[in-house]
Amino acid sequence: MSWTTDQLLEAVRREGRWSTDEPYPTAADILAVAREELLDFILPALHRRRSDCGVFQQDHAISAGQQGYRLSPRAWAGIVRDATILDDQGRILADLVQGDVEEIDYHAGVTSGVGSIQRFVTQGDRVMLLPTPSTTSGTLRLRLLRRPSFLVETTACSAIISTPATVFGNTQFNVNNETAIANGATVDLLQAQPGFDTLAQDVAYTRAGNVVSIPGPVENYPDLAVGSWVSAQHTTPVVPGPEELHAALILAVVARIQRQLGRDVWQSTRGEAVTKLNDVCDRLSPRNWGARTKVINPHSHVRGPRRYPWR
């Protein structure tokens, strides 16, 4: 099932009983509020239960004498979920532990081989390795939380309408609405089906007519398919997050707009959104997976059912 900003706009207007010809809220107003609710309400609740959701990977080649490596601007609040050092075969040399920023001073002037680096700290928009690497080898792999992109209408994007294929070393496919994105732009590629993920970001985009070429063979984009979306960098027509959270998002957006319009009913709508979000997040929590009820012998001195989550 597709879940684009078109469906979100329709659902919010239906729930709030607003027509498209009202001066407020416009489509831009609704999408701006929706992103704010994703940032402040929906996704933080999800991350508290499922820290793996919305995680993406960033790699840096390690250079001798270079202590700091820049975080992706997509990283949510500069949060580093995990940092490892890999050798040239992709095997883990070190699973790094995050320390306090003051440790940079303790390691001033200290260098070591990449296999001996054990810690990192974040300072501003950089990850600092402790101690500083003394050799040019290996890869620093960071796993970061992805900040949601700006929501835009599908008319500002293009959808893939042919199966991607490798042509002269690059990936080619046809798109509709080809004039929505200028030739030579930098784009993001979005998944049209659950879980509505970012398939690739900051991709160079070359277009001739409706034929698009992006760098690298099709094997670099294993989930790219007919129906996937091409959108300008840092924008998306696909509402991020698990499908199960969409109902809570709709209610949260409606409540915000009702409050802005001075309607007293916004509090009850917000309460409904909170209840729905908590119910869904509880079901998504790994702690609730596979818990089975053990029926105790009725003749035992222990009465009633007992749960054994570890079985």
pLDDT per position as a tens digit, 106-157: 889 899 999 899 999 999 999 999 999 999 999 999 999 999 999 999 999 9
The secondary structure of residue 40, as a DSSP letter, is: I
Q: Which of 203, 218, 236 is the last residue of a domain?
A: 236
Average pLDDT of span 183-197: 92
| Token reading at 189 | 């590629």
- How many angstroms separate the CA atoms of 16 and 26, rounded? 13
Give me the pLDDT at residue 294, please. 47
- How many angstroms separate the CA atoms of 164 and 160, rounded? 8
Give me the pLDDT at residue 307, please. 44
- The pTM is what? 0.84
Residue 198's domain comprises 149-236
- How many angstroms separate the CA atoms of 91 and 39, rounded? 35
Number of domains in the chain: 3
Q: Before 227, cis peptide (omega within 30)?
A: no
pLDDT per position as a tens digit, 277-301: 999 988 887 665 554 444 445 554 4
The answer to whether position 140 is within a domain reads yes
| Token reading at 222 | 């294993």
Q: Which of 236, 269, 291 is the last residue of a domain?
A: 236
Q: Judge if 154 and 141 occupy the same domain.
A: no
Q: How many residues does the chain have?
A: 311
Give me the pLDDT at residue 297, please. 52
Give me the pLDDT at residue 298, please. 52
Q: Which of 236, 270, 285 is the last residue of a domain?
A: 236
The answer to whether position 178 is within a domain reads yes
Q: Judge if 59 and 142 occupy the same domain.
A: yes
Q: Give CA separation, 6 vs 26, 178, 230, in Å.
A: 13, 18, 15
The answer to whether position 8 is within a domain reads no
Higher pLDDT, 49 or 51: 49
Give me the pLDDT at residue 309, please. 44
